[in-house]
Amino acid sequence: MKIDSVEFFYAAMPEVTLAADGSQDALLVRVTAGGYVGWGECEASPLVSIAAFVTPRSHGVCQPVADSVLGETLDSPADIARIAALVERNSMDLLQAAHTFSGIEIAMWDLLGHRFDEPVWKLLGYERSAPKVPYASMLFGASPAETLEHVKAATIAGFRAVKVGWGGFGESTPERDADHLVAAREALGDDGLLLVDAGQIFVTDLDAAAARIPALAAARATWLEEPFLPDAYRVHDQLAARSQGVGIAGGEGAHTVHMATNLIDYGGVSFVQIDTGRIGGIGHAKAVADYAAAKGVTYVNHTFTTHLALSASLQPYAGLADHRICEYPVEPSALARDITRSALELDSNGEISAPDAPGLGLEVALERLGPYLRTVDISVDGTTLYASGNSAGRTATVDA
């Protein structure tokens, strides 16, 4: 099969706020080849990722992503890896390329799943899709009482694990943060898993991060996520050495495999969190999962958007039964809920699994997206390089 088309669908809520809520927009990708269709999703900044697909080339290793994808042969997972290597080489100097390609790569896996009537996780070599314990991802409340209330609501909804983050954590005093952690633990009960996301708030300030460790340990937090800039490995490792049993987590921003494995090798993390919509897709994420498993580090998905992205993010570690924790977007936008015809719902154990169905196992409800779709037009020298609704995804003149 040859890749016939790559189309983008940029959907957004009517109002996109400054909240740390990644579900306010989405960039869906539809790939067709040999009469089959696959869907994927890029994370994030839809307009910029579209531009990286159609941009005029700058030179031999700064080519638009389209030039390494359109017309390529797609018959097997090996073809996906080959195309991924082409993009890495030909778009070496195009920074956004990894985000753009991630959604395309995911769609290629979905397409092959439909072609072979197999779930993606089987194509990846796993024999079964092991259940995961989803954690409800939420922001800290404005007060400890509000944090308690939010976490309590998640436990009532059936979650055995909760992650709280952002919302001022790390910006004030350790005592202020400790009060929120006590509230979260109280709401969760003794048995629940408590995860905490610092959102890079300490930048590179080891002491500021370390000042939060006693309260995190007292609240029996399983991990502290992204305390620092993601590539500040040394301070990660130093914090891990004094973290009193609280694991350090990170990796969501990785846009190459090595960015994630370096965090394991040099940053001392116990949990590596991968967003398939950023790292280059499912193949790259699987490489990290394999590496993490070999190193005794727990692989976790990073997902804050749709259930299409959630399924894509579960595939790379679906068969790693010991890697149990899974991020689950608990308060997604209406857009994120509407994008797929069905969702990955919690079972009676409060668990989820990657679907046992062809491809990603979810259908995109294109007919429901109308109210959210944004039209994009990009032209250079008066020639249209991209226009929403053009089924070719781009015009033939992009290389001119």
Give least dist CB 229 to its own copies, A.
6
Take residue 94 and report the two structure tokens written for it.
């195009």
Side chain identity, residue 90: N
Residue ranges binding its own copies (CB under 8 A)? 10, 12, 16-22, 24-25, 43-48, 50-52, 54-63, 88-89, 92-96, 98-99, 199-200, 229, 231-234, 253, 255-256, 258-259, 262, 265-266, 278, 374-382, 385
Shortest distance (Å) from residue 193 CB to its own copies = 25
- In this complex, which beta carbon is closest to its own copies, that of residue 100 or of residue 311? 100
Q: Which is nearer to its own copies, 90 or 353 (CB)?
A: 90
Least Å from the CB of residue 21 to its own copies: 6
CA 366 to each of CA 93, 210, 338, 350: distance values in angstroms, whole numbers, following the listed order: 34, 47, 9, 29
* CB of 347 vs its own copies, minimal distance in Å: 30
Closer residue to its own copies (CB): 222 or 333: 333
Shortest Cβ 214–its own copies spacing (Å): 27
- Min. distance of Cβ 178 from its own copies in angstroms? 24
Closer to its own copies at the Cβ: 155 or 238? 238
Q: Which of 364, 391, 368, 389 is nearest to 28 (CA)?
A: 364
3-class state of residue 315 by DSSP? helix
| Residue among 33 and 98 whose Cβ is closer to its own copies | 98
Tokens representing residue 254 in the block:
């990785």
The nearer residue to its own copies, 110 or 252, going by C-beta atoms, is 252
φ, ψ dihedrals at 219, nearest 5°: -85, 5
**Taking the CB of residue 381, how many other CB atoms lie within 10 A of it?**
8
3-state secondary structure 32-97: EECCEEEEEEECCCHHHHHHHHHCCCCECCECCHHHHCCCCECCCHHHHHHHHHHHHHHCCCCCCH
Closest CB to its own copies among 356 and 399?
Answer: 399
**Element housing 249 (H / E):** strand 247-250
Pick 266 or 347: Cβ nearer its own copies? 266
Residue 350 Rama label (left phi>0; alpha psi -120 to 50; beta): left
Shortest separation between residue 139's beta carbon and its own copies, angstroms: 10
b (16+ CB within 10 A) / e for 41-79 = bbbbebeebbbbbbbeeeeeebbbbbbbbbebebeebeb
Burial class (CB in 10 A: 0-12, 13-18, 19+), 331: middle
For the CB of residue 90, give the shortest distance to its own copies in the complex, in Å: 9
What are the φ and ψ backbone dihedral angles of 164, each rounded to 5 degrees? -115, 145
